[in-house]
């Protein structure tokens, strides 16, 4: 089990790092994914670039396998890199945001779609959203967030705080927000009313950590759209 989950985590981190490189080179990570996934030795599973993995299994099992190896004097350098790469990836949306808006976010309100580490669960253990929330708060921002399942879990973890507003629906999060961060690939986020999105956001600025939309289509609609590894 440890080895299987560590292998899947490795695939995810590999694609995430390739996405960063693709973005720098002007390539499209979706084309890379289709290309390498068509090789039957590789396949398409767990090849989607994004803003990092979380949950109860992948982080725990990677750490457990590394710890077992360390106790026996065997370095697992690949898994060391997988874990380090994932920690960096959890901050990629915040890095993109601060490159655009600066690191002083006092007075800024940001919308966040998705809090659970993946769709169809309320599990927030090691979720990328937590790294992002805490980084944004540290820079003075407030966050309006929506998740179809993880609202109560978020309240349990963070309690009531002035810089976190948990709202009733995805569009409610956008009202007056300076930008939107998409963190979890819930189905409800895949086909929103884009005209309403633009009308509610203070600026049509979208940082998409799950590459839900086609970049050119978003730009044609007037969005300032920043996905992961796509042009």
Confidence of residue 31 (pLDDT cuts 50, 70, 90): very high
Interatomic CA distance for residues 55 and 101, integer angstroms: 30
Interatomic CA distance for residues 95 and 131, integer angstroms: 12
The answer for residues whose C-beta is within 8 angstroms of residue 90's C-beta and 6 or more apart is: 51, 52, 54, 128, 131, 132
Residue 11: how many other CB atoms lie within 10 Å? 17
Confidence of residue 184 (pLDDT cuts 50, 70, 90): very high
Confidence of residue 229 (pLDDT cuts 50, 70, 90): very high
Write out 148-200 in H/E/C secondary structure. Answer: CCCHHHHHHHHCCCCCEEECCCHHHHHCCCCEEEECCCCHHHCCCCHHHHHHH
* Model confidence pLDDT, tens digit, residues 75-134: 999 999 999 999 999 999 999 999 999 999 999 999 999 999 999 999 999 999 999 999
Quote the tokens at residue 191. Answer: 């086909």
pLDDT for position 193: 97
pLDDT for position 5: 97
Percent of the chain exceeding pLDDT 70 equals 100
The percent of the chain in helix, strand and coil, each rounded to the nearest 5, is 50, 10, 40
Question: Whole-number mean pLDDT of the chain?
Answer: 97
Q: Which residue has the tokens 């800024």?
A: 108
Nearest Cα to Cα of residue 104 among 139, 132, 143, 142: 139
pLDDT average, residue stretch 15-35: 97
Find the catalytic residue in 29, 51, 57, 212.
57
Confidence of residue 208 (pLDDT cuts 50, 70, 90): very high
Q: Say whether 51 is catalytic.
A: no
pLDDT for position 49: 97
């Amino acid at each position: 089990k440890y080895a299987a989950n560590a292998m899947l985590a490795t695939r995810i981190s590999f694609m995430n790092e390739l996405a960063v490189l693709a973005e720098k080179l002007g390539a499209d990570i979706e084309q890379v994914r289709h290309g390498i996934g068509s090789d039957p030795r590789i396949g398409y599973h767990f090849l989607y670039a994004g803003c990092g993995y979380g949950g109860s299994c992948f982080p725990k099992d990677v750490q457990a396998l590394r710890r077992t190896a360390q106790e026996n004097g065997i370095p697992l350098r690949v898994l060391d890199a997988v874990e380090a790469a994932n920690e960096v990836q959890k901050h990629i949306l915040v890095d993109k945001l601060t490159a655009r808006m600066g690191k002083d976010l006092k007075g800024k309100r940001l919308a966040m779609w998705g809090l659970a580490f993946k769709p169809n669960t309320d599990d927030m253990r090691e979720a990328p959203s937590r790294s992002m929330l805490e980084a944004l708060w540290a820079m003075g921002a407030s966050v309006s967030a929506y998740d179809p399942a993880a609202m109560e879990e978020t309240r349990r973890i963070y309690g009531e705080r002035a810089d976190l507003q948990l709202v009733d629906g995805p569009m409610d999060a956008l009202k007056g927000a300076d930008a939107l961060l998409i963190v979890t690939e819930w189905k409800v986020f895949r086909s929103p009313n884009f005209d309403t999105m633009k009308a509610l956001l203070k600026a049509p600025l979208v940082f998409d950590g799950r590459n839900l939309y086609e970049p050119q289509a978003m730009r044609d609609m007037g969005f300032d759209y920043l996905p992961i590894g796509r042009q």
